[in-house]
Amino acid sequence: MAKYTTTISEDTRQRIHALQKKMRFSSFIRKAIDVFVEELEKNPKLEPKNFIITVKVK
């Protein structure tokens, strides 16, 4: 399995660390990446400025 890394701002890093300890941040990121890849497969011309993440609460 390939591993990809990117830099994040110090502000973002601190905000992630400030989240509640019981929150499973990595689970949210995995789901977001799955959705992102599905959308790129459907539309390879998708650009970051055109990609919006929304939340649906059940």
Low-confidence spans in the chain with pLDDT less than 70: 1-2
- Residue 56 inside a domain? The answer is no
pLDDT value at position 1? 63
Burial of 26 (0-12, 13-18, 19+ CB in 10 A): exposed
Its domain, for residue 36, covers 10-50
Q: What is the domain count for the chain?
A: 1
36 contact partners, CB below 8 Å, separation of at least 6: 51
- Residue 46 inside a domain? The answer is yes
pLDDT per residue over 25-34, tens digit each? 888 888 888 9
pTM across the whole model = 0.60
Q: Are 50 and 36 in contact (CB under 8 A)?
A: no
- Residue 57 inside a domain? The answer is no
Q: Are 39 and 51 in contact (CB under 8 A)?
A: yes
d(CA 46, CA 27): 24
